[in-house]
């Protein structure tokens, strides 16, 4: 039974109240470890360590910071196999996905901000004729809070921590209690990479207690959060009256618009990924598929055929393409949407919809990738984030109809468009209500770009200098001479 510990002030510590949570391996549906169920006392300890470390860390040269972040990036790659296996066991995702996406991206997050901080500049404004010069300082905030979800555990955890540290802040971070393992392994890597004590503190525990303690701590002045929209709203209601800086990356219900003039084979290959990668547990998945009528029947047949071939199996097997969903509760939440599809929502299940029993993993949380045909864009299947291997399929006639259906949701994170028509591409890019638009691709990521959504998909942007601006306070200095 693996017992992981909090990482506070450079040391590994049990929670003060000695309360523990069970950690499940979703591929076999069994407890395989224990994690601290930390309290506000543990958060206070972490805050004090971070506060103590802030003066020296905020004064390290950019070169020193860059070197340490780069060492952490190297440490992640050096431990790729161990981290990928831990991620796959903790989350249920295929080992091949953890190895090819999650862990390399966690390293890239540190490497990117190790370089970005050495290029981060600010502005000066000469007040001509007034013998005055203004310059803007971009100073670190102090102790900041980073809270991350279970779907891409180390990938999203490091996506917050790296810019926070690069900008000179010290951090109190909490990974999801459902997938804590790689955050724990990261703390060991940081220790070995020479990150001085107190700069990064990782405290494990439940969201409504441990996470809430970070959000309501009066001296933790910025919160970077990724997770569900309802949780984001809760966090905002706590933090807003405390005037904290907030970055909220929340849910998505992303349209995948497929026009008859697209590059069909590339579109089909990518749509299988954008529909079911990570068991559909990615906020950027294209879960609402809209297809122009002339190719609708062909696409429907091909999508079913390709989905049928996806290999559902034990995450650690290299042939597995669809692993286990992250928890029993999440499996049942996703299944509940499938169960309402035909009786209550007027949908038609074209393929999938059932639990899967995987040999020698009978208690694991497995579900068929599922395709539901529906034309009612107001139904729950098309309005709510299901966050599992479930897509809806809907035909459309005109561009205006496609645009109206795509935008008719409370979310606005990303949109994927398949067309070779330039004017149409620009029209949709400008009028789709989302923070990210992919045209003839999906999930292509340049870390310099602003990342985030609008409407119920969140507030603020991560990525590149947007992240460094979030984790610093601009101060205007005006000198008359």
Q: Does 283 bind ligand TXE (CB under 6 A)?
A: yes
DSSP state of 310: P
Any catalytic annotation for residue 249? Answer: yes
Q: Work out which of 65, 93, 160, 174 binds ligand TXE, going by CB under 6 A.
A: 174
212 binds ligand TXE (CB under 6 A): yes
What is the pattern of x (binds ligand TXE, CB under 6 A) and - over residues 363-402?
A: ----------------------x-x---------------
Length of the chain: 481
Q: Is 275 helix (H, G, I), strand (E, B) or coil?
A: helix
Q: Residue 67 in contact with residue 46, Cβ under 8 Å?
A: no
- Identified catalytic residue from 283, 285, 379, 415: 283
CB of 58 to ligand TXE, least distance (A): 25
Confirm if 37 and 19 have CB atoms less than 8 A apart.
yes
Sheet holding 472-480, edge to edge: 124-127, 132-140, 472-480
Backbone Cα Rg of the chain? 23
Pairing type for strands 222-226 and 245-249 reads: parallel
With respect to ligand TXE, which residue has the nearer C-beta, 150 or 296?
150
Taking the least distance from each CB to ligand TXE, the nearer of 137 and 233 is 233
Task: State in angstroms the smallest separation of the CB of 173 from ligand TXE.
Answer: 10
Residues sharing a CB contact under 8 Å with residue 156, sequence separation 6 or more, in sequence order: 148, 149, 226
Residue 317 DSSP class: S
Q: Answer whether 462's CB lies under 8 Å from 468's CB.
A: no
Residue 204 binds to ligand TXE (criterion: CB under 6 A): no
Task: Give me the least distance between CB of 198 and ligand TXE, in Å please.
Answer: 22
Which residues make Cβ contacts (< 8 Å) with residue 456, sequence separation at least 6?
229, 250, 251, 410, 411, 412
Figure out which of the listed residues 147, 162, 303, 338 binds ligand TXE, where binding follows CB under 6 A: 147
In whole angstroms, how far apart are CA 118 and each of 105, 122, 127, 454?
20, 12, 28, 30
How near is the Cβ of 251 to ligand TXE at its closest, in Å? 5
250 binds ligand TXE (CB under 6 A): yes
Q: With CB under 6 A as the contact rule, which of the stretches 23-31, 209-217, 295-303, 312-320 interacts with ligand TXE?
A: 209-217
The dihedral formed by the CA atoms of 369, 374, 378 and 383, expressed in degrees to the nearest 10: 10
**Given the complex with ligand TXE, which of 71 and 148 has the nearer CB atom?**
148
**Structure-token pair, residue 41:** 């006392």
415 is catalytic: no
Total residues interacting with ligand TXE, rule: CB under 6 A: 25
Binding range to ligand TXE, per CB under 6 A, among 129-137, 185-193, 226-234, 257-265: 226-234
222 binds ligand TXE (CB under 6 A): no
Residue found under tokens 């209500």: 433
Catalytic residue among 249, 345, 385, 433: 249
Active site residues: 249, 283
- The residues that touch ligand TXE, with contacts defined as CB under 6 A, are 147-151, 174, 176-177, 207-208, 211-212, 215, 226-228, 231, 234-235, 249-251, 283, 385, 387
């Amino acid at each position: 039974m693996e017992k992981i510990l909090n990482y506070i002030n450079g040391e590994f510590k049990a929670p003060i109240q000695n309360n523990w949570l069970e950690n499940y391996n979703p591929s076999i549906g069994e407890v395989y470890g224990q994690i601290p169920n930390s309290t506000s006392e543990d958060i206070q300890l972490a805050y004090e360590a971070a506060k103590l470390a802030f003066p020296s860390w905020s004064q390290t040269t950019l070169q020193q910071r860059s070197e340490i972040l780069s060492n952490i990036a190297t440490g992640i790659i050096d431990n790729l196999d161990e981290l990928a296996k831990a991620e796959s066991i903790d989350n249920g995702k295929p080992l091949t996905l953890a190895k090819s996406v999650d862990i390399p991206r966690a390293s890239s997050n540190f490497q990117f901000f190790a370089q970005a901080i050495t290029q981060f500049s600010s502005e000066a404004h000469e007040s001509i004729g007034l013998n005055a010069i203004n310059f803007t300082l971009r100073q670190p905030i102090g102790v900041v809070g980073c809270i991350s979800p279970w779907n891409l555990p180390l990938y999203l955890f490091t996506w917050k921590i790296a810019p926070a540290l690069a900008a000179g802040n010290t951090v109190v971070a909490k990974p999801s209690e459902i997938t804590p393992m790689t955050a724990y392994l990261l703390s060991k890597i940081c220790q070995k990479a020479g990150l001085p004590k107190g700069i990064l503190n990782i405290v494990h525990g439940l969201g409504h207690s441990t996470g809430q303690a970070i959000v309501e701590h009066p001296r933790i002045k910025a919160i970077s959060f990724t997770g569900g929209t309802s949780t984001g709203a809760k966090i905002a209601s706590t933090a807003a009256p405390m005037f904290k800086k907030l970055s909220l990356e929340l849910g998505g219900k992303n349209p995948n618009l497929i026009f008859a003039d697209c590059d069909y084979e590339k579109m089909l290959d990518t749509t299988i990924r954008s529909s079911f990668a990570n068991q559909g547990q990615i906020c950027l998945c294209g879960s609402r598929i809209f297809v122009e009528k002339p190719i609708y029947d062909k696409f429907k047949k091909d999508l079913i055929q390709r989905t049928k071939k996806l290999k559902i199996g034990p995450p650690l097997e290299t042939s597995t393409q669809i692993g286990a969903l992250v928890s029993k509760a999440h499996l049942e939440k996703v299944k509940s949407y499938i169960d309402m599809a035909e009786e209550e929502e007027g949908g038609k299940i074209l393929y999938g919809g059932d639990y899967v029993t995987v040999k020698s993993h009978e208690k694991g949380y497995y579900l068929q990738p599922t395709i539901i045909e529906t034309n009612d864009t107001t139904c729950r299947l098309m309005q709510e984030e299901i966050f599992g291997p479930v897509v809806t399929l809907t035909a459309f006639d005109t561009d205006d109809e496609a645009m109206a259906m795509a935008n008719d949701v409370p979310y606005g994170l990303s949109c994927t468009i398949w067309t070779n028509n330039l004017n149409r591409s620009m029209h949709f890019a400008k009028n789709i209500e989302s923070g990210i638009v992919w045209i003839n691709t999906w999930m292509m990521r340049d870390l310099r770009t602003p990342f985030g959504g609008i409407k119920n998909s969140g507030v603020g942007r991560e990525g590149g200098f947007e992240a460094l601006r979030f984790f610093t306070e601009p101060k205007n200095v005006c000198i008359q001479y």
